[in-house]
Structure 1
């Protein structure tokens, strides 16, 4: 492997394949089910509060989202939510857990090209079984030299991954759609942070871009990553 950048780590959800759009569709279904009990804005606010409150209990992912919807339904109906609504919410979660993977444009070609000369990692957070399912269905698994599925992405987590895998942070970059999870903590751990925005981003992943930092780069598309790596090399 040659060049300045030797290790390239990718986020998964909404960086390699669609994810947030399915949460939004399920949230629409949730709002419709409870439309007789509360206004849309109130339901969305209460659901977000529940998700934030429950992160420490359930972590990130579909299962925690479903449990937060059930909790919100019980709260807004003052424990009078019909069993049929709870059943619908559970069914919506099961639909999400079985939805086929939709790769984003140019992902397979871009990751494949970079894998020819670089050490490629997948670093993703969320439910272990669901993330493993999505990776297996994506057809990208053979392109990665290592896969890390973590409960959260922090500077300490990135530092531990880099150290355990013998990765020099200054010769590594983390690529993802979340400033809060993919970019800022990776930069804090000494790596490059490459921000590739997605049209949809969960409210709890919003953060200010570290535009003044010398190791921060924003790309409009993942397809621009090989040229960036060549430039840095």
Structure 2
């Protein structure tokens, strides 16, 4: 378990959604509205399961983000209704998606304090999944963009995706430190490459990002809040 200052560290990377600012609760709120919209066809649980199945099937085509989610909701509505859904319902789904895109940016506690403290001491980057335009918009509107040297919106977060990022940053794995709320996406691939990773849990996690085992590794630590990383980084 990581508990000492990391030697030779050059880059600290942060996930964006539910690490820097709130995201998943907005998707859950939208899913509730979608299930309500389709309640005449199936139970809430069945609608939710069908939407999730379609989302996962579509990841390889659309990737992550709100626009992909809108398309998956429309496809789910068509399948659930056996292609009898009205244009008005499709318009309502698109409206839900636009509402998601217009959600206010809510920074998580301690984020700006942490970035202010680390800025200038390390090269800070964002390494996140999602839609490029939307993620850049959120970073700009949050006021956090000024702290980051580089913003990487990744199509996925597998080992190879991180290896490509390290190559672009011209650093070795042992010079890289990743912080995020997902063990599956933010921690395990980085540890596998030989980098360092910290898990900062968020109170709710998308089912696709959950794992069913504990993580034990000399380069890994888990903290309750983001400011807890500062002593580890010698600040």
- TM bracket (short chain): over 0.9
Quote how far apart the aligned CAs of 1:171 are.
Answer: 2.4
CA positional deviation for 1:81: 1.2
What TM-score does the superposition give when structure 2 sets the normalisation length? 0.94
- Displacement of 1:18 after TM fit? 0.4
Q: Structure 1 length as normaliser, TM-score?
A: 0.95
Q: What per-residue deviation string (whole Å, max 9, x for no partner) do you get for residues 56-115 of structure 1? A: 111001111111111111111111112211111000001111212111011001111011
Partner residue, 1:225: 229
1:187 aligns with 2:213: no
Aligned residues: 230
Distance 1:77 1:16 in 2: 38
Q: Gapped runs of 5+ residues in structure 2?
A: none
Misfit runs of 4+, over 4 Å: none
Helix, strand or coil at the partner of 1:230? coil
Which of 43, 48, 52 is the matching residue for 1:48? 52
Gaps of at least 5 residues in structure 1 are: none
Q: Is the 8 A contact 1:156 1:189 kept in 2?
A: no
User: Per the alignment, in what secondary structure is the counterpart of residue 12 of structure 2?
Assistant: strand
* In 1: Cα distance, 2:146 partner to 2:11 partner: 16
Q: Tell me if structure 1 keeps the 8 A contact 2:11–2:177.
A: yes
Counterpart CA distance in 2 for 1:81 and 1:96 is 22
RMSD value over aligned CA atoms? 1.5
Does the 8 Å CA contact 1:179/1:208 hold for their aligned counterparts? no
The structure-2 alpha-carbon separation of the partners of 1:183 and 1:152, relative to structure 1 and needing over 3 Å to count, comes to same
